[in-house]
Amino acid sequence: AIIVAILVALVAAQQEPVAIVSSNSETNADGSYTYAFETADGTKVEESGSQKQVGPKPEDIGTVSRGSYSYTSPDGVVITVNWVADEKGFQATGDHLPTPPPMPEHVVKLLADLKAAGAL
């Protein structure tokens, strides 16, 4: 196992750096920003964000961001992740990510009934 770990480390250390073929970045006085880059191996990253009041007080300011990244997996499949980071946390979507099963109908009805009764 130690020999395999050393071989993996040697192979990783010998890889050539990947060239960045495009890059742009903008930061504005209001705290909003955008950036994007693409590498020669097809990796792409994009992100934008802005300031937003995320709580009840005016000083409850946070950055709301959204973006995406994509890369080619070792088996040749392009993997894309779209994401949002806001007051609800980090939420990522992608065809390769697992998704929860649909909520059973009786649970949907129960939640609707509770909401109608003002219990939620």
Rounded to whole angstroms, the Cα distance separating 88 from 58 reads 18
Rounded to whole angstroms, the Cα distance separating 31 from 111 reads 39
Q: What is the pLDDT of residue 93?
A: 92
**How are beta strands 61-72 and 44-53 bridged, if at all?**
antiparallel
Domain count, the chain: 1
Contact 67, 45 (CB under 8 A): yes
Domain assignment present for 42? yes
Q: What is the pLDDT of residue 29?
A: 93
Q: Which domain holds residue 47?
A: 20-117
Domain assignment present for 73? yes
Domain assignment present for 88? yes
Domain assignment present for 87? yes
Domain assignment present for 25? yes
Ordered mean pLDDT values, 10 residues apiece, the chain (120 residues): 64 74 94 94 95 85 92 92 91 88 93 90
Domain assignment present for 15? no
Domain assignment present for 2? no
Helices (H), 14-62: none
Domain assignment present for 8? no
